[in-house]
């Protein structure tokens, strides 16, 4: 980290700061110019709070040279992490599609979709049991029952299951869940992340609606600092001023995250765009850009279902998307 000192800084305050830094095993290099004094801080600066340092009277500005994330950092872990879920691998050249309905509604609905997406090439089944909803008056998901239904569908089809957790207190219900999803709104629910760090379950961590990639990696770091290395990063669209699409899918996050981190990166084109017609081009583009997987919403029957999202595909459309993705995968950029 570099600190630039104010022109007429108080020497005594500098001594205080230097002592405090040294007490934390930080080595200090001073570089004094005519008007400007620069302090280079060498050592493990990840626990230093740059905002707090900026507050000091003698500090003009500060700049991190090293990234504040360690466990998630590609620099200290050059090989791709491969997350193993039963027989399925994600990352390090292994591509997997996760598919299923937005909300779990019934055993019949879920099992039908599960079999259809499996036949089309999906490797994991997704489905919402706990649903984060903006309105307290909207359907909040089948909750416990939803998880039971997911486990039945897993039993029938053999597909490992992915479902979202919304609170630490629900963790016991997730014991047989294969991949625990942390939603965009909980990306900075730090107490939840710490608790998930104590498990060894694969965690699918979604990027917050207006989070930076570094913030996403800091949240992964919370999980990894607890000893759980099984983190899958997921880009699901960020908030922008565009209104034609629900959010803006940031596909440059794929190569950028691969450069910053060794963790696998998957893409959620359904939530990102909110428009089923865009799922195919965005899925193919994600595969071309080097994504390690996709998570796609599929509903069973568009003619009868009232509440399928605008972003959901019918099973035959999903099969078409999977085929298009498979065609592009051999030419993916990695």
The nearest distance, CB 54 to its own copies, in angstroms, is: 5
Pick 115 or 214: Cβ nearer its own copies: 214
Q: 218: Cβ–Cβ under 8 A, 6 or more apart, which residues?
A: 68, 69
Residue with tokens 């340092």: 53
> With contact defined as beta carbons under 8 Å apart, do 25 and 44 qualify?
yes
The nearest distance, CB 208 to its own copies, in angstroms, is: 9
Pick 133 or 200: Cβ nearer its own copies: 133
The nearest distance, CB 204 to its own copies, in angstroms, is: 18
How many residues sit close enough to its own copies to count as binding (CB under 8 A)? Answer: 114
Regarding 254 and contact with its own copies (CB under 8 A), the answer is yes
Regarding 150 and contact with its own copies (CB under 8 A), the answer is no
The nearest distance, CB 154 to its own copies, in angstroms, is: 25
Regarding 135 and contact with its own copies (CB under 8 A), the answer is yes
Regarding 8 and contact with its own copies (CB under 8 A), the answer is no
Q: Considering only CA atoms, which of 222, 218, 290 is closest in space to residue 251?
A: 290
Q: Phi then psi for 291, rounded to 5 degrees?
A: -60, 155
Candidates 89-97, 112-120, 129-137, 147-155 — which segment interacts with its own copies by CB under 8 A? 129-137
| Cα–Cα dist 158/231, whole Å | 22
> With contact defined as beta carbons under 8 Å apart, do 234 and 266 qualify?
yes
Q: 12: Cβ–Cβ under 8 A, 6 or more apart, which residues?
A: none
The correct pick among 18, 60, 115, 173 for binding its own copies (CB under 8 A) is 60
Dihedral sign of CA atoms 142, 146, 149, 153 in order:
positive
What letter does residue 301 receive in the DSSP assignment? -
The nearest distance, CB 158 to its own copies, in angstroms, is: 30
Token duo for residue 268: 């959620």
| Cα–Cα dist 252/74, whole Å | 17
The correct pick among 86, 119, 307, 316 for binding its own copies (CB under 8 A) is 307
The correct pick among 176, 212, 227, 316 for binding its own copies (CB under 8 A) is 212
Regarding 92 and contact with its own copies (CB under 8 A), the answer is no
Regarding 151 and contact with its own copies (CB under 8 A), the answer is no
Q: Phi then psi for 197, rounded to 5 degrees?
A: -65, -20
314-333: contacts with its own copies (CB under 8 A): 324, 327-328, 331-333
Q: Phi then psi for 28, rounded to 5 degrees?
A: -120, 130
152-191: contacts with its own copies (CB under 8 A): 166-170, 185-186, 188-191
Pick 128 or 160: Cβ nearer its own copies: 128
The nearest distance, CB 192 to its own copies, in angstroms, is: 7
Q: Considering only CA atoms, which of 259, 331, 323, 326 is closest in space to residue 288?
A: 331
38-57: contacts with its own copies (CB under 8 A): 38, 40, 42, 46-47, 49, 51-52, 54-57
Radius of gyration of the chain (CA): 23
Regarding 94 and contact with its own copies (CB under 8 A), the answer is no
The correct pick among 273, 300, 317, 322 for binding its own copies (CB under 8 A) is 273
Distances from the Cα of 26 to the Cα of 2, 30, 69, angstroms: 12, 13, 17
Regarding 119 and contact with its own copies (CB under 8 A), the answer is no
The nearest distance, CB 87 to its own copies, in angstroms, is: 28
């Amino acid at each position: 980290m570099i600190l630039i000192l104010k022109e007429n800084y108080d020497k005594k305050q500098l001594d205080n700061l230097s002592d405090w830094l040294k007490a934390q095993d930080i080595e200090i290099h001073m570089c004094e110019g005519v008007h400007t004094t620069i302090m280079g801080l060498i050592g493990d600066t990840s626990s230093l709070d740059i905002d707090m340092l900026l507050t000091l009277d003698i500090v003009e500005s500060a700049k991190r040279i090293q990234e504040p994330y360690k466990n998630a950092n590609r620099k200290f872990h050059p090989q791709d992490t491969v997350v193993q879920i039963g027989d399925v691998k994600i990352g390090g050249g292994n591509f997997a599609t996760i598919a299923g309905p937005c909300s779990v509604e019934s055993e019949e609905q879920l099992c039908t979709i599960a079999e259809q997406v499996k036949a089309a090439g999906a490797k994991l089944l997704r489905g919402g049991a706990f649903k984060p909803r903006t309105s307290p008056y909207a359907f909040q998901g089948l909750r416990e029952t939803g998880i039971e239904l997911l486990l039945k569908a897993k039993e029938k089809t053999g597909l490992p299951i992915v479902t979202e957790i919304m609170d630490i207190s629900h963790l016991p219900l997730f014991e047989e869940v294969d991949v625990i999803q942390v939603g965009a709104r909980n990306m900075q629910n730090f107490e939840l992340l710490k608790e998930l760090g104590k498990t060894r379950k694969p965690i699918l961590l979604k990027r917050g609606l207006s989070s930076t990639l570094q913030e996403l990696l800091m949240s992964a770091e919370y999980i990894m600092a607890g000893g759980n290395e099984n983190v899958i990063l997921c880009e699901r669209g960020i908030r922008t001023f565009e209104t034609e699409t629900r959010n803006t899918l940031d596909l440059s996050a794929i190569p950028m995250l691969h450069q910053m981190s060794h963790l696998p990166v998957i893409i959620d084109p359904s939530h990102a765009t909110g428009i089923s017609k865009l799922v195919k081009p965005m899925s193919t583009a994600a595969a071309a850009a080097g994504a390690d997987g996709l998570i796609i919403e599929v509903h069973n029957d568009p003619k009868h279902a009232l509440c399928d999202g605008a972003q959901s595909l019918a099973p035959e459309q999903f099969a078409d998307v999977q085929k298009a993705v498979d065609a592009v995968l051999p030419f993916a950029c990695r």
